[in-house]
Structure 1
Amino acid sequence: MHYQTESWGSCMPTRTSMGIEDPLERIERMASESAVVIFSISSCCMCHAIKRLFCGMGVNPTVYELDEDPRGKDLERALMRLLGTSSAVPVVFIGGKLVGAMDRVMASHINGTLVPLLKEAGALWL
């Protein structure tokens, strides 16, 4: 299985007028850079299942492993605020738009709305 994974070591923080980029702004920027973006933790079994789902569909998501990012905890807290939950990962964005956590992604897959989202974002060409 192959994932397109971003290397955190090469990511330079974006500066704003107030200093380091706000975590929510960073998430928004990262989510808009690829058709499918997954925020994950490398040891999380639910994250692994989501990555397998997309790869099994022929989608090559950009995966951000928060446990490999020096500011990953800040991103994780921002994702929890965004979702309104106590668990932040996995979180999926398609076409720059928040789809949600595992439950929302699986519900979309089961009810047939996931594939059209992927096609619209240019991540799937069936």
Structure 2
Amino acid sequence: MDRIVKLASQKAVVIFSKSSCCMCHAIKRLFYEQGVSPTIHELDEDSRGKEMECALMRLGCSTAVPAVFIGGEFVGSSNTIMTLHLNGSLKKLLKDAGALWL
């Protein structure tokens, strides 16, 4: 859990992902299209990926990936991020975290 918290607080937007996950790909693409360059941690390419996946589940992720942190805070997975995007609140979160300047 400590490793998740440390990694999540190092950049404005951090996404824990798996390279083979289609929803992870969609969420990463959404951030790139917003002009945000998130830090991506691919759990299936990390030697401690399984351990981090369990820690994410303990944080409340219904599915371990994608898990999105903005400003060091856990925001949610794909459903939450898409909801925030569709209702217009994602941009404000990104601006407040310093990930977006426009």
Same fold by TM-score greater than 0.5: yes
| Alignment partner of 1:65 is 2:48 | no
Higher relative CO (Cα under 8 Å, sequence separation at least 6) belongs to 2
Structure 1 or 2, whichever has the larger Rg, is 1
Match of 2:21 in 1: 44
Q: Which runs of 5+ in 1 are unaligned?
A: 1-23
- Alpha-carbon offset, residue 83 of structure 1: 1.4
Match of 2:76 in 1: 100
* TM-superposition CA deviations, 1:9-37 (whole Å, max 9, x none): xxxxxxxxxxxxxxx11100000000000
In 2: Cα distance, 1:83 partner to 1:114 partner: 20
Aligned residues: CA RMSD: 0.8
- Alpha-carbon offset, residue 84 of structure 1: 5.0
Give the partner amino acid of 2:53: E
Structure 1 runs of 4+ with >4 Å offset: none
Match of 1:74 in 2: 51
In 1: Cα distance, 2:88 partner to 2:35 partner: 16
Aligned residues: 102
| Alignment partner of 1:115 is 2:91 | yes
In 2: Cα distance, 1:55 partner to 1:94 partner: 14
SS of 2:26's partner is: helix
- Alpha-carbon offset, residue 56 of structure 1: 0.5
Greater share of helix: 2
TM superposition score normalised by structure 1: 0.79
* TM-superposition CA deviations, 1:57-106 (whole Å, max 9, x none): 10000000000110100000110111152x20000000001110001111
Q: Which runs of 5+ in 2 are unaligned?
A: none
Give the partner amino acid of 1:96: G
Match of 1:14 in 2: none
- Identical amino acids, percent of aligned pairs: 64
In 2: Cα distance, 1:57 partner to 1:117 partner: 12
